[in-house]
Amino acid sequence: MKLGVDYYPEQWPADRWATDAQMMAELGLTYVRLGEFAWSLLEPADGQFDFSWLERAMTILANENLKLIIGTPTAAPPPWLTHQVDIVQRNVDGLPWSPGSRRHACANNPDYRRYSQRIVTELLQRLGDHPAVAGWQIDNEFGCHATGRCYCDHCRAAFQVWLQTRYGSLDRLNQAWGTVFWSATYTEWAQIPLPRTAPAQHNPSLLLDFRRFASDSWVAYQRLQIDLVRRWSPNRPITHNYLGGNEDTCEIDYFDLAADLDFVSWDNYPQGSAGPHHVALNHDMMRGFKGRPYWVMEQQPGVVNWHPYNRPVPPHLVRLWTYQGLGHGAEAVVYFRWRAARYGQEQYHAGLLRQDGSLTGSYREVAHFLRDLAAVPPISRRPAKVAILIDYADWWALQIDPHQHDFSYLKVVTSIYQDLWAAGINVDVIRRSDSIDGYKVVIVPSPNLIDAAQALRWQQFVEQGGRLLVTFRAFVKEQSNIWSDQPLPAGIDTLLGVQVEDYLGLPPDMRGAARNASGGLSFPYWRWAELLKPTTAQPLLFYNQFYWRDQVAATQNKVGQGVAVYAGCWFEHLLPQTLWQALGLDELAVPFSLPNDVEAIAIDLADGGEGVLLLNHNAEPKTVHLHRPGVSLLLNLPPTTLITLQPRDVAILRYE
């Protein structure tokens, strides 16, 4: 793994740049990202370009053997542009965003696309062959601040064209959307609206297709810039910095966005997450979007500035976060930022240096990590035997029509992942349509939209000895977001050996439990329950109370050499013991107990050895009893089975 920083030379006196570059090199950094918010300086007036200051900064950094990632500056159009041309997005009420911030431009606005193409072309022609340029970052954080969907007239016209391409005829669209409902049959493409604010909900089919269209719009906008980079700066890798997975950051399908990139990177701000398991999930998602190692392009280096309460960052936490990235397959971690800003919207955001240029504790933690890295052999995360299959269209469909206020596709995924993470099971998070060859266990959370080809692939996986888990709200709707006319789960009821007789959205005051056949084990559930009718499946769990008492809650169906398990309700731990055993997950877990919030990542060493990376995310010491002796690669100690981790500390262990 290599480390780097995000640097803004334009925010500091030019006579400071050489000092910063020397300090970066002395610290042991490899990469510097710069330029992604500099449009107003690179093009201070319409058609007048000045790259001299950036080229000078690049030369200074290159003189210290630092490698550069240059960001295209299109996330923050300059004031002269927004003053003379209307490029801003319209919100769901049709009102324009105010300029003066960032991410306010529309991907389908022809003027924005034209000006973007011009500044990127000029930048590339001037600096694309600079020997220090190691790669390019396209734009910055597409969709940040809930800007992934625009409701302007340009988007309406583009959406109507997109629909013509998708459906071919209005008859097919009307049929796919069920527009006979509420007298919404369209007779001209121009009649189709954007889902702006209306008295009641828009057609859910229109809503899902609009989300697909909006995502495709940013993929196309990114491709516009990628094509320019490929032309003017060939053989240099291209990335985009993704946001972590949250309900308000899923407006763009990151699998589609990754298709044109050479590698994925993401911005890791753990204090905006649900906990260390959520950060781990994000790491694994990033690896899965492209199916290869990834970068952290912005790593939180201390306190941030945008939460209602910006919590302190205790000592050792930045080092711990860096190790977590290493364990999940990050090739590089780049800290945001080198020096805390003196002005602008992020003045309270920490850097490795304070506003006055003095060193922070995080700077010293980065130095500590680099000393560690130099002292241990290369390690890599052991390949996963468990895959979680996700899909943005499922996510969007369940956001559009959750039926139950606190139903969340992401929470279903996260709950499943957390149970696996707590047992030290390495997991791949991949697309529903990806190959599942080589996995022993495949888990598909709430696959709401029907896909016959995927169902066939899952059938073959199970027949050949695979273990499959599918959860509630499975194969309910067609791809156009209309309800199936077949028994649920439509098209996989034979594979699962079960049909859904009823579905129940549960308010917070309705919590129940489901027991195993003997009644010796009972597991609480909430939020969602389905009443199951086994056909060929064996019941595993039964409901304990309410009017559906004794009805089936979970099943397993033996198919060929494998087993297909269906979870009909939202267990508080979505992999309760009975389902865990049915899937044979114990054989894939680390063979020792883990304290709460101690993360274990099975690793391989470059010399062929095996080991484990332990991360203590707690504020107090934790002890781990290994199943076999291990040697700490960070401490000069004899082999032992007893490992005590200090607060927010790590251990890299090689098994004897």
Q: Backbone phi, then psi, for 494, in 5-degree steps?
A: -70, -45
Length of the chain: 656
Q: How far is CA 340 from CA 276, 356, 470, in A?
A: 25, 8, 46
CA-based end-to-end distance of the chain: 25
The beta-strand segments (E) located in 282-398 are: 294-299, 330-335, 379-381, 386-390
Quote the crossing angle between the two packed helices 276-290 and 317-328, to the nearest 10°.
40
Which residues are CB-contacts of 23 (< 8 A; sequence separation ≥ 6)? none
Q: How far is CA 231 from CA 118, 120, 289, 573, in A?
A: 14, 12, 25, 50
SS3 of the chain: helix, strand, coil, percent, to 5: 30, 25, 45
* CB 612 within 8 Å of CB 630: yes
The beta-strand segments (E) located in 263-396 are: 265-268, 294-299, 330-335, 379-381, 386-390
User: 502 has which bridge partners?
Assistant: 531
* CB 118 within 8 Å of CB 125: no
- Neighbour count for residue 142 (Cβ, 10 Å): 26
* Buried-exposed string 511-550: b where 16+ CB fall within 10 A, e elsewhere: ebbbbbeeeeeebebbbbbbbbebeebbbbbbbbeeebee
Catalytic residue numbers? 141, 298
